[in-house]
Amino acid sequence: MSVTELKERLHSVIDTIDNQEFLKAMLVIADSQEKYNDVDKEQLRILKEREERYRTGESKSISLEEFKGRMKDKYGL
């Protein structure tokens, strides 16, 4: 299903729903999506590239505990 088709379907479904709680939940989802629109195309490209390197194991990650230890050792935090 294309983006246009999905939007049309959502419009149709939302227009027929009378459940206020459900509509509020949909609004919360829509509002949270707006936050992601603040990321420009270059930032999104970089994030996707980093995600791919993480998923393929090319990038090394550390645990939160290891990160905290490094910060404590380096900065005394």
The predicted pLDDT at position 62 comes to 87
Q: Which domain holds residue 42?
A: 3-75
Within the chain, what is the greatest distance between any pair of CA atoms?
Answer: 59
**Could you give the CA distance from residue 61 to residue 39 in angstroms, rounded to a whole number?**
23
Nearest alpha-carbon partner for 1 in 12, 9, 15, 30 = 9
Q: How confident is the model at residue 35 (pLDDT cuts 50, 70, 90)?
A: low
Q: Are the C-beta atoms of residues 9 and 1 closer than 8 Å to each other?
A: yes
Average pLDDT over residues 35-62: 84
- Per the structure, the count of domains in the chain is 1
Q: How confident is the model at residue 4 (pLDDT cuts 50, 70, 90)?
A: very high
Average pLDDT over residues 19-34: 85
- pTM metric for this prediction: 0.39
The predicted pLDDT at position 34 comes to 66
